[in-house]
A = this chain, B = another copy of it.
Amino acid sequence: MSKQTIGFVGTGVMGKSMAKHLQQAGHPIHIYTRTKQKATDLMNNGAFWHDSVASLANASDVIITMVGYPKDVEEVYFGDKGIIENAQPGTYVIDMTTSKPTLAEEIAKHASEKGIHALDAPVSGGDIGARDATLSIMVGGAKADYDKMLPIFELMGQTIYLHGEAGSGQHTKMCNQITNALNMIGVCEAIIYAKKAGLDPIKMIDTVKSGAAGSWALANLGPRILKEDYAPGFYVKHFIKDMTIALETAKELEIHLPGLELALQLYEELSEMGEGDSGTQALMKYFERA
């Protein structure tokens, strides 16, 4: 059985690594991305370049999108020369961008009307997870479509779950970002307290991280903060996007999330300090300034 041809839209830091794994597994890869040079490596290894989403969509058995913001997702799927208009019936489309759950539902609805199979499948694990194919992939959509695409997901990730119908992958990613946001506040407040109280913050982290107050963020980002290493594993600007989506969705669901509201507020102040392109651990700079 020949490998499905995969069209990949958006080969930024994450997308590039993910597409590479698919290419290495023998899938013919078609590419569309805003900045062509970001696809050079993939093209050197035989990927086909397309000048438009329409042309890519028409040529692919499976289309994976990994773009920036919900508005980009909207354009790629519903724009003039978008995927819904141009993909063949029977095509599988997978949006791996972190985006709005309601938009994922809309894509699924319109796709279904055209005989296209749609899944939402945002990821967590950052650039390192993408590079090492250890991403966590949170999928929403029909079970049969999920089963069909599982071998492709397995080329990119490790923890892969179907969470329910269309939008459920995005909803799960929102839960991930909620705990993420609160954990980060805890890490920064503990470190600023430790510093001002004259503790050795490394020793504090070593003590706290292995107990009931521990978190991945404390164990992994805590030490980076102490080295003033604010390089992005995950960008502040993207975190703000995700939290904004989560809060909009929470409003629609009529739930009040005061912790997440606080987190978004702190990160927006951080962004106003010029830290949008820093890693999320740069929240420490907000507390150091405050």
Residues of A with Cβ closer than 8 Å to B?
Answer: 101, 124-126, 136, 138, 159, 161, 163-164, 167-168, 171-172, 174-183, 185-187, 189-194, 196-200, 203-204, 206-208, 210-218, 220, 233-234, 246, 249-250, 253-260, 262, 266, 287, 290
CA–CA, A194 and B176, complex, Å:
10
CA–CA, A220 and B253, complex, Å:
26
Apart from the given pairs A176-B190, A185-B259, A212-B234, 6 other A-B contacts in the complex at a CB distance below 8 Å: A138-B207, A167-B197, A182-B259, A183-B186, A192-B257, A196-B255
CA–CA, A193 and B180, complex, Å:
14
B residues within 8 A CB of A125? 211-212
Given contacts A163-B203, A164-B200, A186-B259, contact A179 B253 (CB under 8 A): no
Contact of A171 among B187, B194, B210, B257 (CB under 8 A): B194
What distance in Å separates the Cβ of A275 from its nearest Cβ neighbour in chain B?
Answer: 18
Given contacts A136-B210, A203-B163, A262-B259, contact A183 B215 (CB under 8 A): yes
Which of chain B's residues has its CB closest to A140's CB? B199
Contact of A266 among B163, B176, B258, B287 (CB under 8 A): B258
Instruction: Check A124 against B177 for contact (C-beta < 8 Å).
Output: no
Of A159, A211, A214, A249, most B-chain CB atoms within 10 Å: A211
Given contacts A136-B211, A159-B207, A172-B204, contact A186 B179 (CB under 8 A): yes
CA–CA, A5 and B160, complex, Å:
56
Instruction: Check B179 against A208 for contact (C-beta < 8 Å).
Output: yes
Contact of A216 among B126, B182, B199, B213 (CB under 8 A): B213
Instruction: Check A208 against B172 for contact (C-beta < 8 Å).
Output: yes
